[in-house]
Amino acid sequence: MLAGILSVGGAQTAAHGETAKPVPVGPTGAMWSNLKDNAAYLDAFAGEQNRRHVEAESASIPPELKVVQVQRALMCDTNSAIPTTPLNGPCPEASGTVGLNYCDGAEPVLPLWRRTRATPADPWNPWVLAAYGGCPADLLPTMSVEDFRRLPLPAPAWHMQPNKDWVLVNMETIVYSTDTPQQLRTDLLGYGVDVIATPERYVWDFGDDSKPLSTHRQGHPWPGFDLFHVYEQAGTGTITATTIWSGRYRVDGDTQWHDILGTAETTATSAPFDIVERRAHLVATDCLTDPTQADC
């Protein structure tokens, strides 16, 4: 007979009689028992995916016709080689071997159990462990950097000055970015996910023999500019801007934002422009008054 339920530090184990003092196992989100090392059980996320799949597949099947069932339930606190649950009847004598699962204050997720029968006319086999429990976050998908890089991040929004089809030799060609954080919505393994991509670093390749300029600054337009390049020879040039994005994501059903381990890049290249020399000479008026003059 089930005599008690222990809930310490987030773990939940069923006990027969008085439960022995539990032994914590592993860090936050660790699995429930060292028995896991000796059996091929699903991890928390794979188990949750299996549960969702089985329940979706059997949703339209009457209970008396089902041949597979899954359910989350307590695990008996015993050192038996085969984990069991009160779903199968009273727990054996408690031995205090089932480890605790710490979830930083969140309610732990119970282990997942599965039972089958050959046909609807056959009796059910005992419930067997399909997946150890975990923390709520363990049941949700993790966004990888590859997932992040597949998102439609925008090309760099950047500008150069002078904003013409030419720049001057031995004069500053100014560059600056106007990138802003991007909010995106995507789907990951059947879960809705919110993503925030933030521009973290900017790389400017000026298309000559100079080393690309890499900086965390966005830069500013004239007259307060702080990012620029000086071309030393006349010719034709292009500038390629690369924005490096960091990301955070939040899965539907989770209140926490998680960092994405890695970055994504987007690039944009200017149209070709002339790099020209200009010589000073007298003019009748300034370029604002008459922009059609030579060199305006």
Is the predicted pLDDT of residue 2 greater than 50, yes or no? no
Is the predicted pLDDT of residue 166 greater than 90, yes or no? yes
Residue 290: count other Cβ atoms within 10 Å of its Cβ: 11
Both tokens of 20, joined, read 């022995």
Cα 13 to Cα 11: distance, rounded to the nearest angstrom:
7
pLDDT on residue 282: 67
pLDDT on residue 122: 96
In the chain, the domains with their CATH numbers are 4-139 (no CATH), 145-276 (2.60.40.10)
Please indicate whether residue 204 or residue 280 has the higher confidence score (pLDDT): 204
Both tokens of 179, joined, read 């990138």
Is beta strand 258-259 parallel, antiparallel or unpaired with respect to 240-251?
antiparallel
Confidence at 138, pLDDT banded by 50, 70, 90: confident
pLDDT on residue 97: 57
Confidence at 155, pLDDT banded by 50, 70, 90: very high
Please indicate whether residue 264 or residue 285 has the higher confidence score (pLDDT): 264
Is the predicted pLDDT of residue 22 greater than 60, yes or no? no
How far does Cα 121 stand from its chain's mean position? Answer: 46
Percent of the chain exceeding pLDDT 70 equals 80
Closest by Cα among 144, 151, 154, 143 to 266: 154
pLDDT on residue 171: 96
pLDDT on residue 165: 94
- Most confident range (mean pLDDT) of 53-57, 107-111, 133-137, 149-153 is 149-153
- Most confident range (mean pLDDT) of 179-183, 187-191, 252-256, 286-290 is 179-183
For 73, which DSSP code?
-
Is the predicted pLDDT of residue 51 greater than 70, yes or no? yes
16-30, 118-132, 236-250, range with the lowest pLDDT = 16-30
In sequence order, which residues have a C-beta less than 8 Å from that of residue 68 and are 6 or more positions away?
Answer: 54, 58, 114, 115, 116
Spatial contact of 243 and 179, defined as CB atoms under 8 Å apart: yes
Averaged pLDDT, 33-41? 42
pLDDT on residue 293: 72
Both tokens of 168, joined, read 């001057």
* 3-state SS class at 62: coil
pLDDT on residue 258: 95
pLDDT tens track for 87-104: 999 988 776 655 566 777
For 118, which DSSP code?
S
Is the predicted pLDDT of residue 38 greater than 50, yes or no? no
Distances (CA, A) of 45 to 42, 137, 215: 8, 9, 39
Please state the φ and ψ torsions of residue 201, each to the nearest 5 degrees. -150, 155
pLDDT tens track for 197-224: 999 999 999 999 899 999 999 999 999 9
Is the predicted pLDDT of residue 53 greater than 80, yes or no? yes
pLDDT on residue 99: 58
pLDDT on residue 260: 98
Averaged pLDDT, 176-187? 98
Please indicate whether residue 280 or residue 22 has the higher confidence score (pLDDT): 280
For all residues of the chain together, what is the average pLDDT? 83
Q: Is 201 exposed, middle or buried (0-12, 13-18, 19+ CB in 10 A)?
A: middle
In sequence order, which residues have a C-beta less than 8 Å from that of residue 178 and are 6 or more positions away?
Answer: 157, 158, 159, 218
Both tokens of 70, joined, read 């899954």
Sheet with 112-116: list strands edge to edge: 68-72, 112-116, 128-131
